[in-house]
Amino acid sequence: MNPITHLLEIDRLQTVFWNGREEVAAIEDVSFSLRAGETIGIVGESGCGKSVTSLSIMRLLGQNGRIRRGEIRFNSRNLVAESEKELRSLRGKEIAMIFQEPMTSLNPVLTIGHQLVEMIRCHTSLSRREAKAYAMEMLKKVGLPQAKDLMSVYPHTLSGGMRQRIMIAMALSCKPRLLIADEPTTALDVTIQAQILELMKSLRKESGAAIMLITHDLGVVAEMADRVVVMYAGQIVEEADVFTLFREPKHPYTQGLMASIPRVQGENERLRAIPGTVPSIRKMPKGCRFHTRCEWAAERCRQEQPQLESVGGEHQVRCWIVQEQASPLPVSANFQHQEAGV
Ligand SMILES: Nc1ncnc2c1ncn2[C@@H]1O[C@H](COP(=O)(O)OP(=O)(O)OP(=O)(O)O)[C@@H](O)[C@H]1O
Ligand SMILES: [Mg+2]
């Protein structure tokens, strides 16, 4: 068997923010990895730490944020230890990110054309004229046929959806090895959304890029992802390949997310069927972080925190109830079936 080489390995990452009085952890013990050409979907309700995970990889945590523990290995380099200069040369070229809020990453005082051309020239050897032609080609690819006119306008004159597509054009134009897409299509209508997903697929196919796709839309995950990470309250609670996750979600939280998929086709609703809310990072419950909303919660769940553990192959779950069911082996027919399939 070939050794598995990972493009990205995140190992027990903890990212904290200073709130004026103390540092609070927004994500804790987050570990997962990604191979070249692979797409990982990251799902979870609002505030679970999806964006903080991606901003940690880019080391764009702002003044009050820092990585307190863990490693982020990209191509065997530990990004946590790299200098800001080294990171600047990686960002955009090797690792590109489509941000959840596109306005924050477009410069308001420069035209769209200027920003696109600079970005392309910074990471390729194209001449200004070639970079301009390429920029217009990319704008057309993201569903902006009026590319020529767009080159001379400023970001604030555009709608949120257009700005998002420009960001996507920028991110894809440098053919990154890792594309981090944070809710890339949420603000877009379904036709444009489908076009963008196709573009991401061709990036993956043509250049073998890995994609980290953060989304609330489980339909998009099913279509795009090879593997899925489910986050709850700053931690990974389940990870599995996409088929296993949809067929046999084990964590009660994942099961809740699955149950909340809108039944009406085309309805693009946010997930909200699980009663209760995600706990605040300032006041995490003792024991399992999900126990306050879990209908199966037992005494142990209220007292001790479960770890993320394999329940067969690469399927991992952070839940006492699931782990106790799975041990000692063999238990249920379900589990034996899954073991045999690995
Ligand atoms: N700059 C910051 N300063 C302080 N706390 C922050 C900061 N950024 C994020 N947080 C906190 O970290 C936690 C995780 O936030 P994050 O933005 O990663 O959630 P998310 O899963 O991306 O949610 P959404 O689906 O709404 O985008 C939240 O409690 C949030 O308030
Ligand atoms: Mg977010």
Whether the CB of 229 sits within 6 Å of ligand 1: no
Tokens coding 310: 């394999």
pLDDT in tens, 307-318: 999 999 999 999
pLDDT in tens, 231-277: 999 999 999 999 999 999 999 999 999 887 665 555 554 444 688 88
Whether the CB of 48 sits within 6 Å of ligand 1: yes
Helix axes 112-123, 160-173, angle to 10 degrees: 20
Answer yes or no: is pLDDT of 306 > 50: yes
Q: What ligand 1 atom has the least distance to the C-alpha of 280?
A: 29
Q: Spell out which residues have Cβ within 5 A of ligand 2, the ion.
A: 50-51, 100
Whether the CB of 100 sits within 6 Å of ligand 1: yes
**Ligand 2: distance of its center to the CA of 218 in Å?**
15
Whether the CB of 52 sits within 6 Å of ligand 1: yes
Domain with CATH 3.40.50.300 in the chain: 8-225
pTM greater than the 0.75 cutoff: yes
The DSSP annotation for 124-159 comes to S---HHHHHHHHHHHHHHTT-TTHHHHTTS-GGGS-
**Ligand 2: distance of its center to the CA of 49 in Å?**
7
Ligand lying nearest the CA atom of residue 42: 1
Pick the residue with more confidence: 66 or 204?
66
Whether the CB of 30 sits within 6 Å of ligand 1: no
pLDDT in tens, 161-177: 788 888 888 888 888 99
- The closest alpha carbon to 30, from 102, 75, 80, 98, belongs to 80
Q: Pick 8-225's CATH classification: 3.40.50.300, 3.40.640.10, 3.30.530.20, 3.30.930.10.
A: 3.40.50.300
